[in-house]
Structure 1
Amino acid sequence: MKFHFVHTNFNVLDLKRSMDFYEKALGLKEARRIEGNGFTIVYLDDGVTDFQLELTWLHDRAEPYDLGEQEFHLALRVDDFEAAHRLHEEMGCICYENHAMGIYFIQDPDQYWIEVLPARG
């Protein structure tokens, strides 16, 4: 029996704002969408792997989600780490840097953390 990763979910308060952020910050684009009674789910992909980020928007939700102590995160590897860092600095979304490990984190509009890793070398 083998399992493989398919997607991870982030619940969001403003779907368009989140989709705009993920496209600008990480180049993720809409792959498919599900419209339901009171919710919308959009799957974003990177055009390279099969893994997707699922954004779930509950239409009636107004209060921010409790994300605990930010101990969980999504991680992406980038081929041009310096260019990505410059873009994220310009966007003002870098929330933590670990220079010793050579990584940093950005924060999306709903306060989810995304780790940015350099290409393997």
Structure 2
Amino acid sequence: MLQFNHFNFNVLDLGRSLDFYEKALDLRPVRTKEGPDGSFRLLFLGDGSSSFTLELTEVKGRTEPYDLGECEFHLAFTTDDFDGMYQRHRDMGCICFENRDMGVYFIEDPDGYWIEIVPQRS
């Protein structure tokens, strides 16, 4: 059997990213790890209902933003409160793209990663 485990985003400021993910998506830390030499820190965030985690990696001394290419990748979340999440993200000013025909929208995190918000469908 094969199961999804985690997905990684490299971030410049772990504290800023944690603040964003807690406010925007209610994700909470479930595990941390630091390199033996202190060169990196990992923070795994969970949604409280699945075992899948988002790993945020901060590399010590990194100051240049990561090259995300054309950002043709994204992480997606399903919500049973689409309208409430939309309003929260609108208030936060982090909605970067809406596809009304498909009934989805995207938010952008502090490092430029896109996250799709999908309504729970019956």
Instruction: Look up the SS of the partner of 1:17 in the other structure.
Output: helix
Equivalent residue number for residue 111 of structure 1? 112
* Cα distance in 1, alignment partners of residues 98 and 82 from structure 2: 13
| Structure 2 Cα separation of the partners of residues 79 and 28 of structure 1 | 15
Q: Secondary structure at the match of 1:86?
A: helix
1:60 is displaced (CA, Å) by 1.1
Q: Give, in whole Å, the separation in 2 of the partners of 1:9 and 1:48.
A: 19
2:75 alignment partner in structure 1? 74
User: 1: distance between equivalents of 2:93 and 2:11?
Assistant: 19
Task: Point out 4+ residue stretches in structure 1 off by more than 4 angstroms.
Answer: none
Count of matched residue pairs: 120
Tell me the C-alpha RMSD between the 2 structures: 0.6
Kindly provide the amino acid, as one letter, of the partner of residue 12 in structure 2: L
TM superposition score normalised by structure 2: 0.97
Deviation per residue, 1:92-118 (Å, 9 max, x gap)? 000000000000000000000000000
TM-score normalised by structure 1 residue count:
0.98
1:3 maps to what in 2? 2
Identity of aligned residues (%): 57
Q: Deviations over 1:27-71 (max 9, x none)?
A: 000001001121100000000001000000001110000001010
Match of 1:31 in 2: 30
Question: Partner amino acid for 2:44?
Answer: Y
CA displacement at 1:82 relative to structure 2? 0.3
Show structure 1 runs of 5+ residues with no match: none
SS in 2 for 1:22: helix
Mark the runs of 5 or more structure 2 residues left unpaired by the alignment: none
SS at match of 2:4: coil
How much has 1:3 moved relative to structure 2?
1.1
Distance 2:80 2:41 in 1: 32
Q: Tell me the residue number matched to 1:100.
A: 101
SS of alignment partner, residue 115 of structure 2: strand
